[in-house]
Amino acid sequence: MDRYAVIGNPIAHSKSPWIHAAFARQTGQALAYEALLGPLDGFTATVHAFRAAGGRGMNVTVPFKLEAYALADRHTPRAEAAGAVNTLVFERSGILGDNTDGAGLVRDLSANLGCTLAGRRILLLGAGGATRGVLLPLLGSRPAALTIANRTVGKARTLAERFTVHAAGTGLDACGFAELAGRRFDLVINATAASLAGELPPLPPGLYAEGALAYDMMYGHGDTRFMQAARADGAAHVADGLGMLVEQAAESFALWRGIRPDSAPVLAALRRQLDAG
């Protein structure tokens, strides 16, 4: 039986083993998928040991995505753009590094939430690894404008400059949170870690255009604080990142097995599980 795993630290909370087991049952694929706690000073050794024991691939979560990028022998274009890897494919010739986060986000927005991205005004909050991982696929969806806002403005501007080459037809800019005052967006994506601590980015009021969607990459039982604040500020729709989690996993599964699972029933079952506490 082919072996796969997700590696991170911490890792006990990971939903990935459950998701991939569901995908395997649905598609009739014979595989085992486990969660590995990676030592903070032993990521590379753990990956090599898993591969040597017959592992076929791995998902990578915090804090190892940059180390995974360095470990890979070659990268997909989206991993190259992100500068981070969340999926490793063990090939005979070496290790392929991919990043499925952005594809997962775009698919969740478009297929699951019915959100049209082409021609829309998008605001992306944060300028860290989560933002880097989704910028290329978001720009590929051809929005009219994409703004990166961050507490440290210089970091946001550096990121915007790095991705300008991919922004043909899209107005790509960067600013601080206060500079958002008076601007309105069709889609606001929270890629900061603020929701993990129950906090909010310091956003001015009035960001949401008519019919706008507020999307938090984090998820939990019920609405995140960002989703609650967005609804109070006029967002017509709110969503968390559970769909992104399932869709990026489906992308990894397809990369490994050559078959794309139907993510909808898996997402629905995981949502019921999460809501049940």
The annotation places the binding site at 14-16, 61, 86, 101, 126-130, 150-155, 217, 219, 241, 248
Q: What pairs with residue 126 in β-bridges?
A: none
* Angstrom distances, CA of residue 251 to CA of 37, 145, 261, 271: 23, 26, 9, 19
Write phi, then psi, for 39 (nearest 5 degrees).
-60, 140
Helix axes 16-27, 242-257, angle to 10 degrees: 50
Helix axes 242-257, 263-275, angle to 10 degrees: 140
Give binding residues for NADP(+) as ranges: 126-130, 150-155, 217, 241
Contact indicator for 43, 63 with CB cutoff of 8 Å: no
Give binding residues for shikimate as ranges: 14-16, 61, 86, 101, 219, 248
Q: Which of 4, 57, 65, 89 is catalytic?
A: 65
Q: Identity (one letter) of the amino acid at 210? A: E
Residues 177, 170: Cα–Cα separation, whole Å:
21
Closest CA to 240 of 196, 277, 185: 196
Contact indicator for 212, 109 with CB cutoff of 8 Å: no
Q: What is the CA radius of gyration of the chain?
A: 18
Stated as kind and residue range, the H or E segment containing 71 is helix 65-71
- Concerning whether 65 is annotated as a catalytic residue, the answer is yes
Pairing assessment for the beta strands 87-91 and 94-98 based on DSSP bridges: antiparallel
The terminus-to-terminus CA distance of the chain in angstroms comes to 32
Residues 89, 205: Cα–Cα separation, whole Å:
44
Residues annotated as part of the active site: 65
